[in-house]
Structure 1
Amino acid sequence: MDIETVILDLLRSNLVYLLLALLLVVLVVKGVRIVPQSEKYVIERFGRLRSVLGPGINLIVPFIDRVAHEISILERQLPTASQDAITKDNVLVQVDTSVFYRIIEPEKTVYRIRDVDAAISTTVAGIVRAEIGKMDLDEVQANRSQLIHTIKASVEDAVDDWGIEVTRAEILDVNLDQATREAMLQQLNAERARRAEVTKAEGAKRAVELAADAELYASEQTAKARRILADAEAYATQVVATAINENGLEAAQYQIALKQVEALNALGKGSGNQTVIVPAQALEAFGDAFKLLKGRST
């Protein structure tokens, strides 16, 4: 055996090993699939669904199985859509909506619907028109959260066969046409004017009530003062009667005489030059009073 033959044999054997190594590398590359956390892979075998690969390292049959679809399972937001709707009270409104969803069963989404975004948008538009048609305009404005909840539930039922989960539905705005806006503005101004008149009338009524309460309070206080004065006069009369009863008529006469002297004294202290004319009977009474006071002092 010559050297050339030995070299050829070595080359043939190394080539076999090289081919085997290359085949092994190809099998590993074709048979191992690393799926990112945010995706799922749909595997087909001869054109038919074989399996769905989740995140991590997965093994498939090389040259037989293939990755047909790489589906993102991240939450998605549909572009803001505007659709016209007519309320129960025949008001035309334009509703701006936005829907968030994510794919949870890629095999359904891939094989049951072609354009999932367009399908969801059409479904949302129809549901929004149907739900708003059941409500008056005031209900649409006041019960927006309830309307959003109803739309979300209806969309979930409609897209259940597509392997989709609707995570959130939002009504961004409810716009009215110009004529309706002007009518509502006039109604709002009229309501404000009515409230102002009611407030003014209530204020006038309250003022009258307060004035009546003040007058009633003043009357009550006057009556109370008169009652106290009457009680005081009654008490004084009772005291005088008791004194007459205990001390006799002389004590009463003494008190009368004392008052008469005080009255005469007050006349004498009047301002200016004045002449006081006193009847004869009064002089006799004053004389009796002075005698009585003199007797008391002694």
Structure 2
Amino acid sequence: MALGDVASLWIWLLAILILLTIWLGVKIVPQSEKHVVERFGRLRAVLGPGINFIIPFLDRIAHRVSILERQLPTASQDAITADNVLLQVETSVFYRILQPEKTVYRIRDVDGAIATTVAGIVRAEIGKMELDEVQSNRAALIGTIKTSVEDAVDDWGIEVTRAEILDVNLDQATRDAMLQQLNAERARRALVTEAEGKKRAIELKADADLYAAQKTAEARRVQADAEAYATGVVASAIADNGLEAAQYQVALKQVESLVALGEGSGKQTIVVPSSALEAFGNAFDLLKGRR
């Protein structure tokens, strides 16, 4: 082999080595990933999205970790409330990895570890509450579970983005007991509503009777006032004109009575007592005297 051929071979090998070094030293990381770089088995760096450079043959990408949000499979676990009711709770957790170096070096099975942590926290939190509180304060319970899970997985470089309680199931015996209680409560409310209706009807009737009595009393008072006024007028007339005024009023009443008797239907003959004639005369005399 000629010297020129050897030189050409070395140039080609050097060019290949340079290209290989560039190929191995330049790393492009996708936006949805982070790469963990090791040097001789130890953590060297964490590569973020974009173009990164490493030392070829010394550094290597040991882990490619997705930083997209993940959802754990729906898990179901048993829990007992403070009032000794057995529940079956279905939960789902969403999380993402923020620090891959912690995740890959501190925990082996991330999904399994989070699922176990969630199950323990759910049982502990539900054990502090009664059944009615679990049903009515589900949002507060979810918030407490999420906070507790975040604290537990903080050392793993994980962020819990959401925790959900999908369903809370009761055993059949508890369901039957709750149904009986619900029916009894409905019957009680119906009786209370009926009793309140009857009570209201009695109150309204009493108010109507009281109103009628008040109006009757007011009418009687007005009538009494009118009679008292008329009596006062007569008394005043007697006081002013003496006995003649009283006799005139009596005679006038007698005349009015006879006129009314004569105007009655079916009356062809009117018998007038002698006292009536005297009444006419007295009234006429008194009338002349008043004039």
Relative to the length of structure 1, the TM-score reads 0.90
Q: CA deviation at 1:297?
A: 10
Structure 1 SS opposite 2:201: helix
Residue in structure 2 matched with residue 266 of structure 1 by the alignment: 260
Tell me how far apart the structure 1 counterparts of residues 8 and 247 of structure 2 sit (CA, whole Å).
162
1:37 and 2:17 matched = no
2:154 to 157, 160, 167: 160
Tell me how far apart the structure 2 counterparts of residues 107 and 254 of structure 1 sit (CA, whole Å).
128
Q: CA deviation at 1:296?
A: 7.0
Structure 2 SS opposite 1:159: helix
Is the CA contact (8 Å cut-off) linking 1:96 and 1:172 kept in structure 2?
yes
1:27 to 11, 14, 21: 21
Counterpart residue identity of residue 116, structure 1: V
Q: CA deviation at 1:19?
A: 3.3
Per-residue deviation, residues 100-130 of structure 1 (Å, max 9, x unmatched): 1111110111011111001111111111112
5+ residue gaps, structure 2, are none
Residue in structure 2 matched with residue 242 of structure 1 by the alignment: 236
1:102 and 2:72 matched = no
5+ residue gaps, structure 1, are none
Q: CA deviation at 1:12?
A: 4.9
Structure 1 SS opposite 2:16: helix
Structure 2 SS opposite 1:69: strand
Percent sequence identity is: 75
Tell me how far apart the structure 2 counterparts of residues 42 and 123 of structure 1 sit (CA, whole Å).
26
Tell me how far apart the structure 1 counterparts of residues 205 and 68 of structure 2 sit (CA, whole Å).
72
Pairwise CA RMSD of aligned residues?
2.2
Is the CA contact (8 Å cut-off) linking 2:71 and 2:95 kept in structure 1?
yes
1:73 and 2:90 matched = no
Structure 2 SS opposite 1:135: coil
Counterpart residue identity of residue 45, structure 2: S
Is the CA contact (8 Å cut-off) linking 2:38 and 2:59 kept in structure 1?
yes
Residue in structure 2 matched with residue 185 of structure 1 by the alignment: 179
Aligned residues: 291
Residue in structure 2 matched with residue 82 of structure 1 by the alignment: 76
Relative to the length of structure 2, the TM-score reads 0.92
> Which aligned pairs between 1:1-298 and structure 2 lie closer than 5 A?
9=4, 12-293=6-287, 295=288
